[in-house]
Every structure is written in structure tokens, then in C-alpha cells.
């Protein structure tokens, strides 16, 4: 954290909880909107945080979503505990998904989650191992 | 235009009554949530066959004007409850997505 840092919003995301999926992203969006952040940036962050949140719900056994607000940027960090991603390059390919059929029937698992997150970010970092996955996304203001 | 008038014009069933003004500036048709997230924009009407609660989260995050559920799909009670809470109108019809999209086009939404 630098002196540029303003505020952190943190949320626990529960695995397989499709009822509450999206709540953290809604809260992040609401906070940024009320702070007067540019609508186009709020939309990008809403898309990124929603995809991150849904990935935790579908693919992990639980995790956290953080939104760090700085004077000049917003950083979304998603950390989860779970099996991790076997092949990150494949996971970054549009249309590639390992989501189960039961989840696809609900409209999830289009294989667009990680590609969307990267597309709407200014900087995208992903690390994954056998214990979980961490994604750090930066959007400059 | 009020939701009731919008429903009447398009022959849609309004699943709960709200006094909200409809401001529809575009239309997106889709059932895969990640693609809708990336493509639909503020004040768009979203036509879909998805009915579970997460469609409300998507509509809320994107500031969509409404959700139109087609092909007579049954909308879950928890979806309606959430939509009421966030005041996002949900309409239902037995017509196809194509038919509803054509009717929206005829209304002048392009």
C-alpha cells in the first residue's frame, strides 16, 4: 500500500452460492458510483468483479474479492482456495471452460470469464497453483 | 413510458408491478451471462430464456432497463423477489426472442 492508497472494500465469496453471487460486485459498483467515478470505468469494474466473483463461486471452495481504491487507479484482487487452474493459457482462451454442465445450464461457463476480465483491465496478472488462484487486475483512473 | 404501458405495447406479461419509467435505448438477446455482461449496455432491454436469480445481478450491474423472459419460461420466485427489491422490471411472454426483438424494433428501438 502506498500513500496514494485511499480505501479497501473486501468481501468473502462462498463456493456454490449462486443466490448471493453478484452481491459483492453490486456493492463495489454502488460504492464507486456514489464516489463519482466515471461511468465507463464503473462498468469495466462491474464486469471484472462479477466474472471474478462467479469464478470463485463455480471453481473454488471459497475466496475473497478485494477492491482497492487509489488516487490514480483501482485494483481488484481475487484470491481463492481450490484446485487452481491446470493450464492458464487454455483458460485464457475465449470459449474454453471447465464448468460443469449443471452450471452451464444456468448460463454460466461460457468460457468468457477470464478473457472478459483481461479485456476490460489495464493490467492483468494471474497466478495459480494446487492450492488456489490469485488474480490482480488494475484499472487506471 | 411506464412498465404497464410497455407491457401492453409489446403484449408482455409484467411479473410484478412497478411505477418505474422505462427508458429503453437498445436491446440485447442472449443466454450466456458472461457474453451478456460484455455486450449489453446501460438502459438496454435484455431478452433471455434464463430465469434464475443471477439474471437480476447481471441486470443490476449493467443498469439494464428490464429483463424480458421469452418462450414461456417459468421465472423462479426468488428471482422475482430480488427483482422487486432492486426495482428491475421483469416481463414474460410465450413468444420467441426473435419475435420480441422485432416488436421492439417496430417500437423504434434500434
Distances (CA, A) of A2 to A5, A15, A67, A70, B103: 5, 32, 15, 9, 54
Put simply, the answer to whether B61 touches A54 (Cβ < 8 Å) is no
Contacts of B31 in chain A (CB under 8 A): 107
Q: Which of B37, B52, B55 is nearest residue A116 as measured by Cβ atoms?
A: B37
Number of domains present in the structure of chain A? 1
Contacts of B38 in chain A (CB under 8 A): 47, 112, 116, 119-120
CA distance A13 to A62: 6
Put simply, the answer to whether B53 touches A18 (Cβ < 8 Å) is yes
Q: What is the DSSP letter of B12?
A: -
pLDDT band at A1; cut points 50, 70, 90: low
Q: What is the pLDDT of residue A133?
A: 97
Which among B83, B85, B102 has a CA at the least distance from the CA of B93? B102
Q: What is the pLDDT of residues A79-98, one digit of tens each?
A: 999 999 999 999 999 999 99
CATH code (residue A62):
3.30.565.10
Q: What residue ranges do the domains of chain B occupy?
A: 3-106
Q: What is the pLDDT of residue B19?
A: 85
CATH T-level topology, domain B3-106:
3.40.1390
Q: What is the pLDDT of residues B19-58, one digit of tens each?
A: 888 899 999 999 999 999 999 999 999 999 999 999 999 9
Which among A64, A73, A67 has a CA at the least distance from the CA of A134? A64
A6 is a domain residue: no
The whole domain housing A40 covers 15-140
ipTM score of complex: 0.89
Amino acid at each position: 500500500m502506498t500513500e496514494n492508497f485511499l480505501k479497501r472494500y473486501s468481501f468473502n465469496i462462498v463456493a456454490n452460492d449462486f443466490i448471493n453471487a453478484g452481491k459483492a460486485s453490486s456493492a463495489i459498483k454502488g460504492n464507486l458510483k456514489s464516489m463519482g467515478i466515471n461511468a465507463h470505468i464503473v462498468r469495466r469494474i462491474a464486469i471484472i468483479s462479477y466474472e471474478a466473483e462467479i469464478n470463485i463461486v463455480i471453481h473454488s471452495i471459497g475466496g475473497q474479492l478485494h477492491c482497492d481504491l487509489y488516487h490514480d487507479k483501482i485494483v481488484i484482487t481475487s484470491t481463492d482456495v481450490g484446485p487452481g487452474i491446470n493450464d492458464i493459457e487454455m483458460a485464457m482462451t475465449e470459449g474454453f471452460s471447465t464448468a460443469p454442465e449443471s452450471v452451464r445450464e444456468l448460463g454460466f461457463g461460457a468460457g468468457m470469464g477470464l478473457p472478459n476480465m483481461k479485456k476490460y483491465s489495464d493490467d492483468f496478472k494471474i497466478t495459480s497453483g494446487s492450492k488456489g488462484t490469485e488474480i490482480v487486475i488494475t484499472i487506471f483512473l | 413510458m411506464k412498465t404497464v404501458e410497455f407491457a401492453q405495447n409489446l403484449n408482455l406479461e409484467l411479473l410484478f408491478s412497478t411505477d418505474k419509467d422505462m427508458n429503453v435505448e437498445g436491446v440485447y438477446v442472449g443466454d450466456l451471462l458472461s457474453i451478456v455482461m460484455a455486450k449489453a449496455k446501460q438502459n438496454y432491454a435484455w431478452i433471455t430464456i434464463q430465469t434464475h436469480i443471477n439474471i437480476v445481478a447481471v441486470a443490476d450491474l449493467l443498469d439494464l432497463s428490464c429483463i424480458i423472459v421469452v418462450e414461456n419460461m417459468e421465472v423462479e420466485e426468488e428471482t422475482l423477489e430480488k427483482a422487486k427489491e432492486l426495482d428491475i422490471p421483469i416481463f414474460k411472454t410465450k413468444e420467441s426472442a426473435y419475435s420480441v426483438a422485432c416488436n421492439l424494433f417496430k417500437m423504434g428501438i434500434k
